[in-house]
Structure 1
Amino acid sequence: MAELSSTSVKLVELCRVAPQPQPDVAEFSLPLTFFDLLWLRFPHFHRLFFYEILASSASADTKPFFNSLLFQKLKASLSVTLQHFLPLAGNITWPQDSHKPVLSYVQGDAVSLTTAQSDADFHRLSSNDFNIEAKEYHPLVPQLAISHEKAAVLAFQITLFPNSSGFSIGISMHHAALDGKTLFMFLKSWAHLCKHEPDTLLPDQLKPFYDRRVFIQDPAGLELEAIYLNQFLNMDQRANNRSLMVATRYKSVALPDSIRGTFEFTSTKIEALRQSVMIKKQQQYHLSVLYLSTFCLTCAYTWVCLVKAEQEEEEEEIKDDQILTVLSVDCRSRLDLPIPATYFGNCITGHGAFAERKGLLGEDGFFVAVNAISEAIKGLDNGVLNGAENLVSSLYLSESDLQATTDHSRVFTTAGSHQFKMYDTDFGWGRPKSTEVVPIGRRGAIAITFSDGKNGGGAVDIGLVLKKHHMEVFASLFPKGLENL
């Protein structure tokens, strides 16, 4: 687990939760596809959910409620849920007799579940305040067990805030086993079984689809699996390198003076952004076909605010360089043979939207960004996997190559989706008060994370972790442009 701060978080118990036994299933394994292999040595993903226990939901003395009913209910329903998601209780290994890694469950495997108590201010941590350092969330998420030979897939931490009548669920996930869509299918299954009786049947939209034999095929001519495996086997200047450790580039580093922030696009503001682009297109007929989805509009606006905030922070002459935003694309419905929405595993790839810094900083910066993202989305029509052969080499650049790249361009990445409906993850005590992505010691590109809005009503929230001064400038710019719509 992540290092616990002795002043705010106290470890209570560390246990392992196994899937409810199934007499006819002693083991279960899945070969990693090229979609999974991409993330084999990527940093683990961490997310937090904050839940407030209202007085009507608990006894007058909340400690017994937290320590018995809440924890035992979450633990019991987790065991039942893992019965439907056996691979998540297993491990990723790369046996010497296998040409590629596998995700396998063997009876007796289990996930790590930590319970802890914190005297931190629950309401502050779950708020939209911009004075919260990113590192304050680190003790609330667990660390996945990992070695060169074996890597766990999931770990959980339940942290109680008895002085504030709230609790958090911290999740750590190995990206090579599942993507965000699969993670939220699992979390909503867990919440469904916790809220209802454990023997309740899962609805069809929460039943994982495991068949990889027909639907996930390495495209003819691309040989992505072979390319990725060869690059991993020769990584770190070692031959036959089957290590599962996080790549050297992503070794944990301190992120001093980093602040997290959450910003809301209401449905009214999203529609106003859409109308402003439509008016612009009517005025300038040469604009290309535009995709005015909620994602495109909110991503474009955030992209421009980030570039402007960095420029104001640097107070330098405007650089004539290219800015790249890497868009995460769900390929489930975009492959030649579409796969079910409930497919278990990874089915995402990245596509770049490029724009000149000067264009983004100009009067029409928002429209430049919308056009760039639209062009990237339009390019998917020519093949969702175009350029995929370069993804591993791009993700795992050496330090010297990374420095050379960042000297000449700026990179932003996107993660999550408002379509995951994260705030519908109700374990029986109501909607989350807040949910946060927790970046731990990750250098490189700034990530823009998307979720449905905590206030509902069709809103979208975006999350960022930036240097303190950069965040202050961004927080000043973000509302100004929306107010002028």
Structure 2
Amino acid sequence: MAHSTSLNLHQLHSVAPPHATTATTFPLTFFDILWLRLPPVERLFFYEFPTTSKTTSFYDIIVPNLKHSLSLTLQHFIPLVGNITWPLESSNPIINYVPGDAVSFTVAESNSDNFNHLCSNLCDVVDRQHLIPRLNISHEQASVLSLQVTLFPNSGFCIGITTHHAAVDGKSSTMFLKTWAYFCSKIQEQLTQIPSSLPENQTPFLDRSVINDPSGITEAFVDSWLNYDGPNNRSLKVWDTISAVKTEQVKGLFELTPSHIQKLKKHALSKVKTKVSTFSVTCAYLLSCLAKVEKPKDERVAFIFSVDCRTRLDSPILATYFGNCVFPQLVVVETNKLVENDGFIIALEGIIDALNKLEDGVLNEGEKWMSKIQSAIGNRLFSTAGSPRFEVYGIDFGWGRPKKVDVTSIDKTGAFSLSESKNNDGGVEVGLALNKVEMEAFLALFHQQLESF
């Protein structure tokens, strides 16, 4: 069913921290530089109006509260207000903040009555594009954060957030969202005194000097970017090959319930004879299903997943470290084995092997990562986004939990997203975009395969 995607832009704000701060430069570590020209991360949070709140309160209460709380939040998250640059006099890219910098905050209103359709488990990719805020990215400079709030009259609203991956990883951007929701909910409670400090688990740690690099990973990553279409290419433009929206696609959300996960684990234990995690069986199952549906022509299929390194470094850092602190792991399997009946076990064994190698050090041979990924580019490349540990369905700005959370950036990259189940029952919600024919095949196979275990 086709749906109109027309939109009225009501207001375009620039939101800054409430108090002027001094100019600050934040260096990019090798964890950040890895993502320098990869696509931004986009997420949409859909909220239904409370029964007592309709369109009028959106402009009179919701938008002012979101703006005010955003300003209060940004004073704790200054890197999000700055811009990524790569000055000629600097060997590495940096985030540069100067007083007067601000975050783009767009307020829009949809002319469509498709709120419930957009919140459903299946919808056309093109129907959500107008809800996604854009970063300002040129060869010389890139903004870090952009926000858009869109009203669906008499139904609800959508908060869109786009972040530059070279500035923050998913854990950090989610911490920002939770802090913004914390301040907004306090304003919504009409407290006379809004807290100026944050709970310890939401206080960002901004000192990037805690990231050590004894093996020269930073230099290796910098050289790779400089020599890409180089020499001395300091462009910050996103790779064109993976930044285009595939408009003829359908976005689907699927749930692996706790009973599904236990079934997968039981089957896995009968084959691999080692303890398996929810993450590993979920990814292995999705890889086997996707390979059977897509039937890649490449001899090998590559799978990339990221590991949070905060507790895995030789000198562990705080869980609230703000920036990137994830490092990719690569799994390569033969396509003809993956599409067979035991493709789930083949994928699982590859993931287990990659996880076991972490015992040698999470950054072992990290300086070779760029060349590894370049060698895998010729294969069908799958990857993940998000994590059930982010608990995105608990982000409440004061008007209730989100009805749906959609990682729209995977529509471009071909990744699949993972989050906790919106039912808060221990299940895993999976998001992916496929063309219509593939989506129909995946729907059938996803449920059929589960029944066969």
Same fold, TM-score > 0.5, yes or no: yes
| CA apart distance, 1:7 | 5.2
**Aligned residue number for residue 289 of structure 2:** 305
Does the CA contact (< 8 Å) of 1:135 and 1:440 recur in 2?
no
Selected match of 2:388 from 400, 418, 441? 418
TM-score (norm 2): 0.93
Matched, 1:88 2:86: no
Does the CA contact (< 8 Å) of 1:48 and 1:169 recur in 2?
yes
Distance in 1, matches of 2:274 and 2:308, equals: 19
Distance in 1, matches of 2:93 and 2:367, equals: 19
Can you give the 5+ residue segments of structure 2 that lack an aligned partner in the other structure?
188-193
Deviations 1:281-322 (A, max 9, x none): 4xxxxx4x63411111111111111011123xx8xxxx6822
Q: What secondary structure, in the 3-state scheme, does the structure 2 residue paired with 1:84 have?
A: coil
**Aligned residue number for residue 479 of structure 1:** 447
Distance 1:291 1:410, change over 3 A: farther
**Aligned residue number for residue 28 of structure 2:** 32
Distance in 2, matches of 1:440 and 1:361, equals: 23
Q: What secondary structure, in the 3-state scheme, does the structure 1 residue paired with 2:95 have?
A: strand
Selected match of 2:117 from 124, 128, 131? 124
Does the CA contact (< 8 Å) of 2:410 and 2:416 recur in 1?
no
Distance in 2, matches of 1:274 and 1:320, equals: 29
**Aligned residue number for residue 8 of structure 2:** 10
**Aligned residue number for residue 190 of structure 2:** none
TM-score (norm 1): 0.87
**Quick one: which amino acid aligns to residue 180 of structure 2?**
W
Does the CA contact (< 8 Å) of 2:300 and 2:380 recur in 1?
yes
Distance in 2, matches of 1:429 and 1:124, equals: 21
| CA apart distance, 1:419 | 0.5
**Aligned residue number for residue 51 of structure 1:** 47
Selected match of 2:217 from 210, 224, 227? 224
Does the CA contact (< 8 Å) of 1:29 and 1:105 recur in 2?
yes
Distance in 2, matches of 1:20 and 1:334, equals: 36
Matched, 1:190 2:168: no
Q: What secondary structure, in the 3-state scheme, does the structure 1 residue paired with 2:206 have?
A: coil
| CA apart distance, 1:414 | 1.1
Q: How many residues align?
A: 444
Matches of residues 60-209 of structure 1 in structure 2 within 5 Å? 62-120=54-112, 121-129=114-122, 132-163=123-154, 165-197=155-187, 198-199=194-195, 201-209=197-205
Distance in 2, matches of 1:274 and 1:249, equals: 37
Does the CA contact (< 8 Å) of 1:77 and 1:194 recur in 2?
yes
More deviation in 425-434 or 119-128? Answer: 119-128
Q: Percent identity?
A: 45
Distance in 2, matches of 1:84 and 1:193, equals: 12
Does the CA contact (< 8 Å) of 2:4 and 2:127 recur in 1?
no
Does the CA contact (< 8 Å) of 1:147 and 1:244 recur in 2?
yes
Can you give the 5+ residue segments of structure 1 that lack an aligned partner in the other structure?
282-286
| CA apart distance, 1:157 | 0.2
Deviations 1:70-129 (A, max 9, x none): 000000000000011011111111122211111122111110000100133101101112
**Aligned residue number for residue 284 of structure 1:** none
Distance 1:391 1:134, change over 3 A: farther
Distance in 2, matches of 1:257 and 1:94, equals: 36
Distance in 2, matches of 1:451 and 1:11, equals: 31
| CA apart distance, 1:388 | 2.6
Q: What secondary structure, in the 3-state scheme, does the structure 2 residue paired with 1:196 have?
A: helix
Distance in 2, matches of 1:394 and 1:157, equals: 37
Distance in 2, matches of 1:263 and 1:394, equals: 31
Deviations 1:370-428 (A, max 9, x none): 22111110011112123432433566x5xxx88xx53xx32211111001001011101
Does the CA contact (< 8 Å) of 1:46 and 1:141 recur in 2?
yes
Deviations 1:28-81 (A, max 9, x none): 22110011011111111111000001213x1xxx22201110000000000000
**Quick one: which amino acid aligns to residue 16 of structure 1?**
S
Matched, 1:335 2:313: yes
More deviation in 168-177 or 144-153? Answer: 144-153
Does the CA contact (< 8 Å) of 1:416 and 1:449 recur in 2?
yes
Distance 1:227 1:417, change over 3 A: same
